[in-house]
Amino acid sequence: MKVIKSLYINYLFFYILMGIGGLFLVSFFLKRLYPVALVVLAAFLVVTLVDIFILFAVKKGVDADRILPDRLSNGDENPIRIRFLNRYPLAVVLNVIDEIPFQFQKRDFNFNVKLAPKERREMEYFLRPTERGEYLFWKLNVYAQTILKLTSRRYIFSENKNVATYPSFIQLRKYDMMAFSHNLSEFGLKRIRRIGHTMEFEQIKEYVQGDDVRTINWKATSKRNALMVNQYQDEKSQYVYQVIDTGRSMQMPFGGLSLLDYSVNSALALSNIVLKKNDKAGMFTFSRKVENYVPADRRSAQMEKLMGSLYRIHTDFKESDYSRLFVEVKQSVKQRSLLMLYTNFETMDSLRRQLPYLKNIAKYHLLIVIFFDNSELNQLIDRPANDVREVFDKVVAEKFAFEKRLVVNELRKHGIQSILTQPENLTLASINKYLELKARGMI
């Protein structure tokens, strides 16, 4: 019974059987071909039985194992590896059907592998998740067949394993390396000139060749009868909060990811840079109410706290309440902090409704409003118009693009800095802004 369940007839079997049927049909009219047809049919059945015997002669002829990462990185290409072992004494062809999670919407995910006798091999493919959460991998189905390809034997491996998809930790590591590289411009990160002394005093030490002569402490020099200089260290322990809008405006998708997911990935990468710069990183989200509050800190476990909170964030499809945000910031964030606010304003009207609250927040903190340039609208603007409808669409697109620039100017007029960026460039733009503010001593 087990053999019957694992046995599958291939298309080639039916094609040959149809050919033999045609031969019998011809032999019905030409009697002399009837014995030939019987011999061909008998030979075909014998070959088929031999094929089945070869496949089932070895108890476990093929072994396979799907190797999954501990967690998937949202928005990135994640490697999935499969190891194969052929225990047959002859070459086999494997048709592999991997039942990947339903979120990828692929019902025909299969490929072929040819293995020599006793050969081990490892294959790799990549999956790009576009939403956070649990991903269930189902069965790994392997259909083994000999070079005759008449029948197949089915093997099932690696059944039902859950893997959590977290905010982009691959992107986190990439930008971590970039921010501390000596070749920043190659990656798009800007090298910002430090303005004046935006550093904390550390100690007075004896002058050595190469020290900045402008830091000579003449009073200490006269007392010690030797050149003494002031030594400074970078200002540390500044408070940096990632504030993420989870309202309905953040549900808009670009490149498979929502604006919220782009913001989550950027917030994680920037928080990592903040901690590496010895500042304190924190976060909270808001929509109708403020949630997921993580106080700013720089302890070793802070990144795990932030990642755990970011993993759970989802939009609630409601209008965001900026008055609640202002009250919560005033109550919870007592020290002057850098607030990176990830949101989206499509029109001037949407900004004007929230501007009083943003101005009040900016009185007590350094507020950076980050919102998104619609890259699909830009493509429509750049495309030549060929008829009246396309001209109309282009004019509407240009109007929305112009509104975005007006939002930037309006915020600047009230002393609020902003970042207008395309979603795919968000992480780079936010890190650049943080490094710029750090270099200019504004935090």
Q: Is the pLDDT of residue 169 over 80?
A: yes
- Domain containing 85 equals 62-166
Instruction: Indicate the DSSP class of residue 424.
Output: G
CATH number of residue 137's parent domain: 2.60.40.10
Mention every residue, 6+ apart, whose C-beta is less than 8 A from residue 437: 338, 366, 368, 443
Q: Which residue from 46, 22, 64, 59 is spatially nearest to 150, judged by alpha carbons?
A: 46
Q: How, if at all, do strands 62-67 and 151-157 pair?
A: unpaired
The domain boundary, picked from 234, 255, 286, lies at 234
Examine the domain organization and report whether 318 and 174 are in the same domain: yes
Residue pair 124/103 in contact (Cβ under 8 Å)? The answer is: no
Other residues' Cβ atoms within 10 Å of the Cβ of residue 37: 19
Sign, CA torsion 331/336/339/345: positive
Examine the domain organization and report whether 310 and 368 are in the same domain: yes
The domain boundary, picked from 147, 166, 185, lies at 166
Number of structural domains found in the chain: 4
Phi (first) and psi of residue 81, to 5 degrees: -110, 145
pLDDT band at 374 (very low <50, low <70, confident <90, very high): confident
Examine the domain organization and report whether 216 and 277 are in the same domain: no
* Two structure tokens written together for 363: 């009185």
Between CA 370 and CA 387 the distance in angstroms is 36
H or E element, residue 378: helix 375-382
Q: What's the confidence (pLDDT) of residue 28? A: 63
* Higher pLDDT pick, 249 / 25: 249
Between CA 416 and CA 67 the distance in angstroms is 49
Q: What's the confidence (pLDDT) of residue 175? A: 75
Amino acid at 236: K
Examine the domain organization and report whether 263 and 348 are in the same domain: yes
Examine the domain organization and report whether 41 and 108 are in the same domain: no
Strand partners, 26: none
CATH number of residue 434's parent domain: 3.40.50.410
pLDDT band at 33 (very low <50, low <70, confident <90, very high): low
Examine the domain organization and report whether 152 and 270 are in the same domain: no
Examine the domain organization and report whether 369 and 346 are in the same domain: yes
E-assigned strand segments in 117-193:
120-127, 133-137, 140-145, 151-157, 161-166
- Whole-number CA gyration radius for the chain: 33
B/e letters for 140-157, b = 16+ CB within 10 Å, e = fewer, are: bbbbbbbeeebbbbebeb
pLDDT band at 34 (very low <50, low <70, confident <90, very high): low
**In the chain, what are the helix, strand and coil shares in percent, each to the nearest 5?**
45, 30, 30
Mean of per-residue pLDDT scores for the chain:
84
Question: Which whole-number Å values give the CA distances from 250 to 128, 303, 319, 419, 429, in the listed order?
Answer: 21, 24, 10, 16, 18
Q: Is the pLDDT of residue 296 over 60?
A: yes
Examine the domain organization and report whether 297 and 185 are in the same domain: yes
Q: What's the confidence (pLDDT) of residue 23? A: 66
Phi (first) and psi of residue 373, to 5 degrees: -85, 130
Question: Which whole-number Å values give the CA distances from 405 to 372, 374, 408, in the listed order?
Answer: 11, 12, 5
Examine the domain organization and report whether 66 and 177 are in the same domain: no
H or E element, residue 94: strand 92-98
Examine the domain organization and report whether 51 and 117 are in the same domain: no
Q: Which residue from 186, 225, 191, 227 is spatially nearest to 206, judged by alpha carbons?
A: 227
Q: Which residue from 75, 66, 74, 127 is spatially nearest to 102, judged by alpha carbons?
A: 127
Q: Which residue from 104, 112, 103, 102 is spatially nearest to 141, judged by alpha carbons?
A: 112
Examine the domain organization and report whether 130 and 146 are in the same domain: yes
pLDDT band at 229 (very low <50, low <70, confident <90, very high): confident
Examine the domain organization and report whether 35 and 89 are in the same domain: no
Sheet holding 78-86, edge to edge: 62-67, 78-86, 120-127
pLDDT tens string 320-358: 999 999 999 999 998 899 999 999 998 899 999 999 999
